[in-house]
Amino acid sequence: MACEPKTDPVFTRNVRCRSNRSISIGENAVRAFRRCWPASGFPAKPLWAAFGRNGDLEDISNGAWEHADGHAVSAMLDDAKEVCLQRAGKGWR
Query: What are the DSSP calls for 20-83, one per residue?
Result: TSEEEE-HHHHHHHHHH-TTS---SS-EEEEE-TTS-EEEE--STTTTS-HHHHHHHHHHHHHH
Using one digit for the tens of pLDDT, what is the confidence trace for 51-69? 998 888 899 887 778 778 8
pTM: 0.85
C-alpha torsion 80→82→87→91, nearest 10: 110
Q: Which amino acid is at 60?
A: I
- Rounded Cα distance, 70 and 16, in Å: 21
Q: How confident is the model at residue 2 (pLDDT cuts 50, 70, 90)?
A: low
